[in-house]
Amino acid sequence: MGVAPRSKRYAEMASEEKSTPMERASSWLEIAKHPDYDGHDSELAKHLRLVSASFDPTPSHPHNATSVFELIVPHTLCNMSGNLHGGAVALIFDICTSITINILAKPEFWDSGHVTRTLNCTYLRPVQEGQKVLIESQVVHLGKRMGVVTGVIRGTEEDGGKVCYTCEHGKASLTGSNM
């Protein structure tokens, strides 16, 4: 499964107009879990569980898409102190916020992939190996080429739901790109 077929299939799955937000969000997990894919993000796909995905456009927020994932922090994403590694936090946000954009992709609008311009993470409190967390993402704005998505990693209600990490993710659409 080479890079081109994988990214092409992902774009096709993510932009199918008849698919539900849950199906669109799930498409990345399906591809990343494929036995022939061994990219750095395949480890994360084994542990993420999609809880919800929605697309509720309004006149004031036409790109209002959200997603929630659940993760039980595995040893493989932790530092030597047994806490979620800072680089893993960035990876989690990168993947989950990007998936949220795919919920609303349509032909010629954010359907040919996108790349990170900026990813600003704030680390508020550590998460320990084995702890269950929720990753919440929301599209703030998507223009023709640039967008912003926010993310929060928090404990579950059983843990008091405290915010552990936040992010603001600046994205650039590859639609029509000469890259």
Classify residue 51: in a domain, yes or no. yes
HSE (side-chain half, CA atoms, 13 Å) at 171: 31
Q: What pLDDT score was predicted for residue 179?
A: 47
In terms of Cβ atoms closer than 10 Å to its own Cβ (0-12, 13-18, 19+), residue 175 is: middle
Report helix angle 21-32 to 3-14, nearest 10.
170
Classify residue 136: in a domain, yes or no. yes
Q: CA 24, CA 119: separation in Å to the nearest integer?
A: 23
CATH code of 68's domain: 3.10.129.10
Q: Is the pLDDT of residue 143 over 50?
A: yes
Q: How confident is the model at residue 163 (pLDDT cuts 50, 70, 90)?
A: very high
| DSSP line for 47-113 | TEEEEEEEE---SS-TT-EEEEEEEE--GGGB-TTSBB-HHHHHHHHHHHHHHHHHTT-BTTBS-S-
Classify residue 178: in a domain, yes or no. no
Give the whole-number percent of the chain exceeding pLDDT 90: 71
Classify residue 134: in a domain, yes or no. yes
Classify residue 79: in a domain, yes or no. yes
Tens of pLDDT, residue by residue over 104-128, are: 998 889 988 899 999 999 999 999 9
Q: Is the pLDDT of residue 57 over 80?
A: yes
Tens of pLDDT, residue by residue over 70-92, are: 999 999 999 999 999 999 999 99
Q: What pLDDT score was predicted for residue 67?
A: 98
pTM: 0.89
Residues spanned by the domain of 76: 3-173
**Average per-residue pLDDT for the chain:** 89
Number of domains in the chain: 1
Classify residue 179: in a domain, yes or no. no
Q: What pLDDT score was predicted for residue 175?
A: 76
